[in-house]
């Protein structure tokens, strides 16, 4: 329990660090921040109003404390461009990103683990060479290229699936594959190497001596032991996926977090960008804690050590 | 040899693939294991003992293969099956129920991620010996008690890393016994254990063989284990059986220089502590085909013939055979 | 070591591919007559073939010339920050791993912070502050990568430090700086080389993704990602426009990935990445 508590405390410290870092990074712009924020063509009154609402005239530490206080209460400020509370914008966008990420992760893990297992079980034979090549291709193509390629094939050539996201489940297929493609490749590579490490473990001989077929022994006993690093990587991939989501969402026109952030950069909407980044960091931190909990529950060795 | 034979190895040859070449590590051995008898297979590490054992239940590593010979299993009804020719599916049906195995290193031979009770129960589930999970659990707990695990109900949910080495080996034995097999193969069952635990485990194996009227094949390099446990012994060197005899006979009248060497390597309480007899040299690394006696390079009694001709198996008396030119 | 490299087919082939691409991309401005910037509206969107092997884009610029210029920029913008990230990561990792205690805690915390946001969003924050330019892409990529490098270097340093000869050197009163330079760095070198090679593809992907989104390299500069971005509106009519830069990115990334894998097997098989 103390380990878990320490972990949570560490997470809080990390989140605090994230806040400080973003806060500083967004405010080292030379010149009057409000004027930069709003670009050139606005009048004095608007600048004054913005400066007042965002406390831009106060010293930095004070600004930070008031932002921190607001964030703790769930107030991430007002979006300048959209004229809405940042949190409500984020909460409207987040479900799309969540749906996209979950579907992409499901695709990546299903394909990745399946091909990785087949690769490991037939290592140095034809299926292995095939899937190794495929997974290398998987990790090496940029997300936007997969996205454009999928659009070209499934929309333009085959007219099977919609070009952009239109709210239907069908239109979510291409974005999910595009986003999951890279991860599928790395999951396959890790599954292969992690399972290969287990293949010469004596307990697989025991399992066979008990009467399990080699394939059953690998799937029941080997995979169970190979899963721990894979789960850890899944948590790390969450971050990569949210990165990829920015591109996927922009190609397929999904109004999720990534697009919100992109919009914030393009419209120079600092509160929105700040809020989005902070929220994403929070989600990733949460994902890390969940992955820790899962491996804590799965690994009996860690469980007794607590 | 008596008629009541359970398993017979007939000219068994096991080869390892090395750089696209098949190199024999077990070269045409003949062995037989009688019902309710404990048979020892003795030799230095690397001489092919484990390969022999693993070929019986088809758990050879992927680079090894049975290239010749038969493994004959005598069924209760008198018919004979060649295990070496069975498909994987058919041999697995026998593993755990007809043939069970105990390994050298109990820690790595148990799945670290699974509680020991379920690992034992798995045998019952695979072979559908018990369909009811509650009853299966009861059986497992009973078996845990039989192999001497204190508080078996509590231990059911333990993980391998929570147990001592001796306990783990008891778990392995419980796992082997739960399917009430006819043959137990124990591959160096006490090598990884403390000397103080060794005799307990040996006694347990003996007890299990008696209670379940089971045969056993004990693989070891330790002559002490052989004298404590076995009825009949095969001495193996470089994939070849050098001498075979009942235990009493072998210890009283060892004939092959290698057997003599092995026996004199046992430290004796009353012996000179400064001096421990060894067999000079080591097992040759490169397994090339050599037309002379396998042991001649390390032998103290060798004659010229030994370098040019393999010795045949000579019958000394009823159950005692030796492969040596000098005898 | 060198012999092992030349015996490894994957290493030799991927290394050769990278070397050839580098050579061609950097020699091109001197050897080719076509100027990547010259517009010729009569050649607007002329398809591949003839003088313009890969065709011309919507402003009538030669795609091959642009492809080579883009490759050169993309390689530059991947190599510099990767090297920088390895240096920063190595310094932080060695400090954390070697000195332990408070310094380690602080450095671990700092790397955790940089690793807890998605690289793309981190890059966006930097783009917001500095605007889209070579420099900001460079800073963004350094920030995306040094954290994970520091983490690995730290764990390798800790394991090197446990060696008895280092403890012996410490016991003899050898200065810490001397130990780091004389013992830790040479042992760390293979890891650093592999880390550099394995981070190169990430840098190439990051740069092209940022430029694709329009927040990286800005026109009139050229980069592979930007070329894909500029051709995506014509994707269905003129797919070949997007094809050549995409394939170039993929070939580069794959070659670096294969090279990195092979180097890891040759130089540093024990460490896990």
Q: What value of ipTM does the predicted structure carry? A: 0.85
Q: Is the pLDDT of residue A176 over 90?
A: yes
Give the pLDDT score at A292: 80
Closest CA to A195 of A225, A235, A236: A225
- Give dist(CA B91, CA B85) in Å, integer: 9
Set out the domains of chain A in order of their start, with CATH numbers: 93-304 (1.10.3720.10)
Least confident interval from A154-158, B99-103, B118-122, C92-96: A154-158
Kindly compute the dihedral angle of the four CA atoms of residues C265, C268, C270, C273, in this order, to the nearest 10 degrees.
-80
Chain B residues lying within 8 Å of A225, measured CB to CB: 111-113
Res. A95 pLDDT band, cuts 50 70 90: very high
Grouping H, G, I as helix, E, B as strand and the rest as coil, residue A276 is helix
Q: What share of chain A is helix, strand, coil (3-state, %, to 5)?
A: 80, 0, 20
**B160 class by beta-carbon count within 10 Å (0-12 exposed, 13-18 middle, 19+ buried):** buried
Closest chain C residue to A186 measured between Cα atoms? Answer: C257
B268 CB neighbour count, 10 Å cutoff: 10
Tell me if chain A has a CB within 8 Å of the CB of B110. Answer: yes
What distance in Å separates the CA atoms of residue C229 and residue A250, rounded to the nearest whole number? 12
Cα C71 to chain centroid, rounded: 12
Buried b (16+ CB within 10 A) or exposed e, A274-298: bbbbbbbbbbbbebbbebbebbeee
**CA A167 vs CA A253, A255, C105: distances in Å:** 11, 10, 46
Q: Are B146 and B177 in contact (CB under 8 A)?
A: yes
Nearest Cα to Cα of residue B16 among B54, B64, B84, B49: B64
Residue C145 pLDDT greater than 50, yes or no: yes
Range scoring the smallest mean pLDDT among A76-90, A120-134, B274-288, C84-98: B274-288
Q: Cα-Cα-Cα-Cα dihedral of A213, A219, A220, A224, to 10°?
A: 150
Cβ atoms A276, A261 nearer than 8 A: yes
Length of chain A as a residue count: 306
For B128, the closest chain A residue by CA position comes to A211
Q: Decide if pLDDT at A179 tops 80.
A: yes
Q: pLDDT digits over B195-223, tens only?
A: 888 888 999 999 999 988 899 999 998 88
Give the chain C residue whose CA is nearest to the CA of A241: C118
Segment C61-77, tens digit of pLDDT: 777 888 888 898 889 88
Chain C residues touching residue A25 (CB < 8 angstroms): 125-126, 129
Q: Which residues of A52-81 are buried (b: 16+ CB within 10 A; e: fewer)?
A: eebebeeeeeebbeebeeebeeeebbbbbb
Largest CA distance in chain B: 68
Residue A40 has pLDDT above 60, yes or no: no
Contact residues, chain A, for C118 at CB < 8 Å:
239-240, 242-243, 246, 280, 284
B217-243: pLDDT as tens digits? 999 988 888 988 999 999 998 888 989
CA distances, A299 to each of A228, C51, C120 (Å): 8, 63, 33
Residues comprising chain C, all counted? 273
Subunits in contact with chain C (3 or more CB pairs closer than 8 Å): A
Q: What is the mean pLDDT of residues C50-68?
A: 73
How much is the pLDDT for C119?
Answer: 83
Residues C18, C256: contact at Cβ < 8 Å? Answer: yes
B36 interfaces chain A, CB cutoff of 8 Å: no
Q: Which chains touch B (3 or more CB pairs under 8 A)?
A: A
Nearest to B175 among A205, A208, A210 (CB): A210
Domain with CATH 3.40.50.300 in chain B: 5-98+181-323
Residue A10 CA to residue C193 CA, distance in Å, equals 31
CB atoms within 10 A of CB B1: 10
Is the pLDDT confidence value at A290 over 90? no
Which tokens in the block code for residue B233?
A: 């012994």
Candidates B50, B113, B123: best to mutate against A (most CBs of A within 10 A) is B113
For residue A306, is pLDDT > 50? Answer: no
Distance to chain B for A121, nearest Cα, Å: 11
**The pLDDT value given to residue B273:** 62
Predicted local distance difference test score (pLDDT) of residue B286: 54
Query: What is the average pLDDT across C74-90?
Result: 93
| Structure confidence by residue, pLDDT tens digits, C227-258 | 888 888 777 777 778 888 898 999 999 999 99
Between CA A135 and CA A189 the distance in angstroms is 7
Q: What crossing angle do the helices spanning C185-213 and C119-130 adopt, rounded to 10°?
A: 70
From the list A206, A211, A301, the residue facing B103 with the nearest CB is A206
Whether omega for the bond prior to residue C220 falls within 30 degrees of 0, making it cis, is: yes
Give the angle B186-B192-B197 at the CA atoms, nearest 5°. 90
| pLDDT tens-place string over residues A190-203 | 999 899 888 888 99
- For A247, counting Cβ atoms within 10 Å of its Cβ (0-12 exposed, 13-18 middle, 19+ buried), the class is buried
CA A206 to chain CA centroid, Å, is: 39
Q: Which strand (E) or helix (H) includes residue B282? A: none
Is B96 in contact with A209 (CB distance < 8 Å)?
A: yes
In this prediction, residue A231 carries a pLDDT of 84
Contact at CB, A15 and C232, closer than 8 angstroms? no
Q: Which domains does chain C have, with CATH numbers?
A: 2-31+60-267 (1.10.3720.10)
d(CA C150, CA C95): 10
**Does the pLDDT at position B285 exceed 60?**
no
Question: What would the 3-class secondary structure string for chain C be?
Answer: CHHHHHHCHHHHHHHHHHHHHHHHHHHHHHHCCCCCCCCCHHHCCCCCECCECCCECCCCCEHHHHHHHHHHHHHHHHHHHHHHHHHHHHHHHHHHHHHCHHHHHHHHHHHHHHHCCCHHHHHHHHHHHHCCCHHHHHHHHHHHHHHHHHHHHHHHHHHHHCCHHHHHHHHCCCCHHHHHHHHHHHHHHHHHHHHHHHHHHHHHHHHHHHHHHCCCCCCCCCCHHHHHHHHHHHCCCCHHHHHHHHHHHHHHHHHHHHHHHHHHHHHCCCCCC
Q: What's the first-to-final CA gap in chain C, in angstroms?
A: 20
Run of H or E including A29? none
Dihedral of the CA atoms B296, B300, B304, B310 (nearest 10)? -30
Nearest-Cα distance to chain B for A297, in Å, is: 11
Beta-carbon contacts of B287 under 8 Å, excluding residues fewer than 6 positions away, are B23, B24, B25, B238, B239
User: Using CB atoms, which residue from A200, A214, A300 is nearest to B159?
Assistant: A300
Chain B: nearest CA to A282, how far in angstroms?
31
- pLDDT, mean over chain B: 86
- The pLDDT assigned to A31 comes to 53
Confidence band of B1 (pLDDT split at 50, 70, 90): very low
Q: Which residues contact C175 (CB under 8 A, 6 or more apart)?
A: none
Strand partners, B7: B33, B73
SS3 of A225, please? Answer: helix
Q: Does B306 touch chain A (CB under 8 A)?
A: no
Cβ C106 vs Cβ C154: under 8 Å? no
Tell the residue number behind the tokens 């008990």, with chain if given.
A210
Domain B5-98+181-323 has CATH 1.20.950.20: no
CB B220 within 8 A of CB B208: no
Q: How far apart are CA B175 and CA B9, in angstroms?
A: 25
- The larger pLDDT score, comparing residue C37 to residue C176, is at C176
Is B112 part of the contact surface with chain A (CB cutoff 8 Å)?
Answer: yes
Contacts of B59 in chain A (CB under 8 A): 205, 208-209
On whether the CB atoms of residues B123 and B129 are closer than 8 A, the answer is yes
Between CA A276 and CA A142 the distance in angstroms is 24
Query: Residue C85 has what pLDDT?
Result: 95
Tell me the Cα Rg of chain A: 24
Longest dimension (CA), chain A: 83
Question: In the A/C pair of chains, how many CB contacts fall below 8 A?
Answer: 133
SS3 content of chain B, % helix, strand, coil (to 5): 35, 25, 40
Structure tokens at C51: 């003088």
Complete DSSP assignment for B166-184: HHHHHHHHHHHHTT--SEE
Q: How far is CA B91 from CA B28, B54, B198, in A?
A: 22, 12, 31
Q: Report CB contact under 8 Å: C201, A140.
A: yes
For the residues A194-221, what does the mean pLDDT come to?
Answer: 90
Of the partner residues B112, B161, B175, the one whose CB lies closest to the CB of residue A225: B112
pLDDT of residue A42: 60
Question: Could you tell me the sign of the dihedral formed by the alpha carbons of B223, B225, B231, B236, in that order?
Answer: negative
User: Predicted confidence band at A238 (pLDDT cuts at 50, 70, 90)?
Assistant: confident
For residues A249-261, give the mean pLDDT.
90
A138: nearest CA partner in chain C: C254
What average pLDDT does chain A have? 83
Q: Which of these, C103, C119, C197, C228, lies nearest to C154 by C-alpha position? A: C103
Asked if residue A35 has pLDDT above 60, the reply is no
A203:B123 CB<8 A: no
Position with higher pLDDT, A234 vs B34: B34
**Stronger pLDDT, B216 or A156, i.e. the higher one:** B216
Task: Express each pLDDT in C154-169 by its tens digit.
Answer: 988 888 888 888 888 8
From the list B101, B115, B126, the residue facing A212 with the nearest CB is: B126
Which residue, among B162, B150, B149, has the nearest Cα to B114 in the 3D structure? B162
Structure tokens at A225: 């032991």
What pLDDT digit, counting tens, does each position of C206-215 carry? 999 988 988 8
Chain B residues within 8 A of A208 when measuring between CB atoms: 57-59, 92, 95
CB contact under 8 A, A211 and B89: no
- Which residues of B fall within a CB distance of 8 Å from A201? 108
C-alpha–C-alpha distance, residues C174 and A68, integer Å: 47
Nearest CA-CA distance, residue A38 and chain C, Å? 12
> What are the tens digits of pLDDT across the range C23-39?
888 887 776 666 666 66
Give the per-residue pLDDT at C124.
86
* Chain A nearest CA to B59, separation (Å): 6
Q: Determine the average pLDDT of the residues in B17-29.
A: 83
Residues 6 or more apart whose CB falls under 8 angstroms from that of B182 comprise B6, B35, B98, B99, B214, B215
Indicate the helix (H) or strand (E) that contains B293. none
Which string of b and e fits A179-188 if b means at least 16 CB within 10 Å?
A: bbbbbbbbbb
Chosen for mutation from B50, B95, B111 (greatest number of chain A CBs closer than 10 Å) is B111
B54 touches chain A (CB under 8 A): yes
Q: Tell me the residue ranges of DSSP E strands in B35-177.
A: 38-42, 64-74, 80-82, 99-102
pTM: 0.82
DSSP state of B310: P
Q: Does B touch C (3+ CB pairs < 8 Å)?
A: no
Measure C171 CA to nearest chain A CA, in Å: 33
Nearest CA in chain C to A134: C254
């Amino acid at each position: 329990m103390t380990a878990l508590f320490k972990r949570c405390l560490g997470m809080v410290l990390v989140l605090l660090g994230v806040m400080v870092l973003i806060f500083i990074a967004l405010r080292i712009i030379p010149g009057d921040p409000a004027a930069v924020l709003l670009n050139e063509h606005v009048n004095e009154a608007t600048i004054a109003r913005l400066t007042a609402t965002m406390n831009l005239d106060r010293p930095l530490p004070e600004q930070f404390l008031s932002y921190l206080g607001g964030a703790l209460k769930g107030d991430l400020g007002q979006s300048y461009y959209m004229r809405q509370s940042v949190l409500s914008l984020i909460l409207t966008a987040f479900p799309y990103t969540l749906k996209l990420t979950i579907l992409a992760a499901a695709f990546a893990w299903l394909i990745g683990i399946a091909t990785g297992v087949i690769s490991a079980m037939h290592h140095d034979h034809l299926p292995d060479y095939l899937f190794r090549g495929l997974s290398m291709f998987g990790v090496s193509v940029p997300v936007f290229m997969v996205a454009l390629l999928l659009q070209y094939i499934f929309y333009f050539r085959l007219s099977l699936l919609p070009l952009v996201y239109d709210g239907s489940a069908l239109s979510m297929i291409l974005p999910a594959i595009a986003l999951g493609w890279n991860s599928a490749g790395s999951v396959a590579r890790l599954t292969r190497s992690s399972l290969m490490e287990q293949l010469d473990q004596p307990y697989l001989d025991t399992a066979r001596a008990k009467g399990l077929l080699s394939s059953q022994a690998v799937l029941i006993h080997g995979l169970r032991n190979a899963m721990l690093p894979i789960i850890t990587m899944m948590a790390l991939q969450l971050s990569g996926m949210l990165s990829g989501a920015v591109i996927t969402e922009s190609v397929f026109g999904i109004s999720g977090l990534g697009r919100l952030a992109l919009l914030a950069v393009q419209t120079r909407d600092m509160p929105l960008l700040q809020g989005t980044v902070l929220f994403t960091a929070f989600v990733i931190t949460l994902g890390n804690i969940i992955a820790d909990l899962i491996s804590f529950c799965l690994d009996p060795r860690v469980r007794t050590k607590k | 040899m008596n008629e009541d034979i359970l398993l017979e190895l007939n000219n068994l040859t096991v080869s390892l693939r090395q750089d696209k070449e098949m190199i024999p590590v077990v070269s045409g051995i003949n062995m037989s294991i009688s019902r309710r008898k404990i048979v020892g297979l003795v030799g230095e590490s690397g001489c092919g003992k484990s390969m022999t054992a693993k070929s019986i239940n088809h758990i050879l590593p992927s680079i090894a293969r049975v290239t010749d010979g038969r493994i004959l299993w005598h069924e209760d009804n008198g018919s004979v099956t060649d295990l070496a020719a069975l498909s994987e599916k058919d041999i697995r049906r026998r593993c755990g129920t007809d043939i069970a195995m105990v390994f050298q290193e109990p820690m790595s031979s148990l799945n670290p991620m699974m509680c020991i009770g379920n690992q034992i129960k798995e045998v019952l589930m695979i072979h559908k010996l018990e369909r009811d999970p509650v009853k299966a659990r009861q059986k497992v707990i009973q078996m845990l008690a039989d192999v001497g695990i204190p508080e078996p109900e509590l231990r059911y949910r333990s993980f391998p890393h929570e147990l001592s080495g001796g306990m783990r080996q008891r778990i392995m034995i419980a796992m082997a016994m739960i399917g009430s097999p006819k043959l137990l193969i124990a591959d160096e069952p006490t090598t990884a254990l403390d000397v103080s635990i060794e005799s307990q485990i040996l006694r347990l194996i003996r007890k299990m063989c008696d209670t379940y009227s089971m045969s056993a094949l004990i693989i070891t390099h330790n002559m002490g284990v052989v004298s404590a446990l076995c009825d009949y012994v095969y001495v193996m060197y470089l994939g070849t059986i050098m001498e075979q005899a009942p235990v009493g006979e072998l210890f009283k009248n060892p004939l092959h220089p290698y057997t003599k060497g092995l026996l004199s390597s046992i430290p004796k309480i009353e012996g000179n502590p400064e001096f421990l007899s060894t067999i000079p040299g080591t097992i040759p690394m490169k397994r090339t085909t050599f037309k002379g006696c396998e042991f001649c390079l390390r032998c103290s009694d060798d004659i010229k013939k030994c370098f040019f001709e393999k010795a045949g198996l000579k019958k000394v008396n009823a159950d005692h055979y030796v492969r040596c030119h000098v005898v | 070591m060198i012999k092992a490299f030349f015996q490894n087919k994957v290493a030799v082939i991927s290394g050769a591919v990278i070397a050839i691409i580098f050579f061609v991309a950097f020699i091109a401005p001197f050897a080719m007559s076509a100027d990547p910037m010259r517009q010729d509206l009569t050649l607007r969107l002329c398809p591949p073939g003839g003088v313009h092997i890969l065709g011309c884009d919507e402003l009538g610029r030669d795609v091959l010339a642009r492809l080579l210029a883009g490759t050169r920029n993309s390689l530059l913008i991947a190599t510099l920050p990767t090297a920088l990230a390895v240096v920063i990561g190595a310094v932080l990792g060695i400090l954390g791993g070697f000195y332990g205690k408070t310094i380690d805690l602080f450095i671990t915390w700092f790397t955790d912070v940089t690793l807890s946001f998605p690289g793309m969003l981190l890059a966006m924050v930097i783009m917001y502050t500095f605007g889209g330019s070579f420099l900001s892409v460079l800073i963004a990529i350094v920030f995306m990568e040094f954290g994970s490098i520091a983490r690995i270097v730290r764990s390798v340093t800790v394991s090197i430090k446990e060696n008895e000869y280092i403890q012996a050197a410490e016991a003899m009163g050898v200065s810490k700086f001397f130990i780091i330079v004389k013992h830790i760095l040479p042992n760390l070198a293979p890891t650093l080389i592999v880390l550099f090679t394995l981070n190169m593809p990430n840098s190439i992907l990051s740069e092209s993704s940022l430029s694709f989104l329009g927040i990286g390299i800005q026109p009139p500069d050229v980069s592979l990602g930007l070329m894909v971005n500029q051709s995506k509106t014509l994707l269905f009519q003129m797919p070949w426009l997007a094809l050549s830069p995409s394939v170039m990115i993929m070939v580069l990334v794959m070659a670096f990935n294969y090279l990195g894998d092979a180097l890891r097997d040759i130089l540093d098989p024990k460490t896990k990445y």
